[in-house]
Amino acid sequence: MRTGLYPGTFDPITLGHADIIRRACSLVDKLVIGVAINRDKGPLFSLEERVAMIEAECAALSKQTGCEIVVHPFENLLIHCARDVGASVILRGLRAVADFEYEYQMVGMNRAMDDSIETVFLMAEAQHQAIASKLVKEIARLGGDISGFVTPAVKAQLAEKFG
């Protein structure tokens, strides 16, 4: 069984994330979605809310793809999380070339710590490349239409947060 780890803050989960998750499911038998506990980012949604949102968004996808999807919060190093969940591959989504430089450095550091865990980059589909959780939150906060970036359930949760 091949286990992959797809880490992120997912604040909130977007259609771009869902696209990467769907495509990652074709590469692994079990996909662990690592929800980063990153206090420095000051997430809008609590850890519990983000985990519940991801579980809800991925339930149908798991059935559709036949891939087991597990949501796993983590606060340690990514490479340690990968070991903890038995992942042989870390899956990372790329939106643009600008993402690559940071990701390239992270891969080098992770390989120095454990070269048995590979990293695979998946480019977001063209219609999802501009989607960033940070921008989605800003658009929602200012009353803009985010229906092209998140599911109706996530849109409702954002509307609730921003009143």
| pLDDT tens, residue by residue, 127-137 | 888 899 999 99
Q: By C-alpha distance, which of 105, 73, 96 is closest to 7? A: 73
Q: How far apart are CA 103 and CA 107, in angstroms?
A: 6
Q: What is the pLDDT of residue 130?
A: 86
CB atoms within 10 A of CB 100: 15
**Catalytic residue (one of 50, 92, 133, 155):** 133
38 strand-pairing partners:
none
The amino acid present at 80, given as its one-letter code, is H
**Catalytic residue (one of 17, 30, 128, 137):** 17
| pLDDT tens, residue by residue, 77-100 | 999 999 999 999 999 998 877 778
Q: What is the pLDDT of residue 39?
A: 75
Active site residue 17: yes
Active site residue 62: no
Active site residue 41: yes
Q: What is the pLDDT of residue 155?
A: 97
Q: Please answer whether residues 35 and 70 qualify as being in contact, where contact means their C-beta atoms are separated by less than 8 angstroms.
A: no
**Catalytic residue (one of 2, 41, 63, 80):** 41
Q: Please answer whether residues 66 and 32 qualify as being in contact, where contact means their C-beta atoms are separated by less than 8 angstroms.
A: no
Residues of the chain where predicted confidence (pLDDT) is lower than 50: none
Q: What is the pLDDT of residue 132?
A: 92
- Angle at which helices 47-65 and 15-24 cross, to 10°: 50
CB atoms within 10 A of CB 85: 16
Q: Please answer whether residues 6 and 25 qualify as being in contact, where contact means their C-beta atoms are separated by less than 8 angstroms.
A: no
- Angle at which helices 78-85 and 97-113 cross, to 10°: 70
Q: Please answer whether residues 145 and 111 qualify as being in contact, where contact means their C-beta atoms are separated by less than 8 angstroms.
A: no
Report yes or no on whether pTM surpasses 0.85: yes
Q: What is the pLDDT of residue 6?
A: 98
Q: What is the pLDDT of residue 41?
A: 72
**Catalytic residue (one of 72, 95, 111, 161):** 95
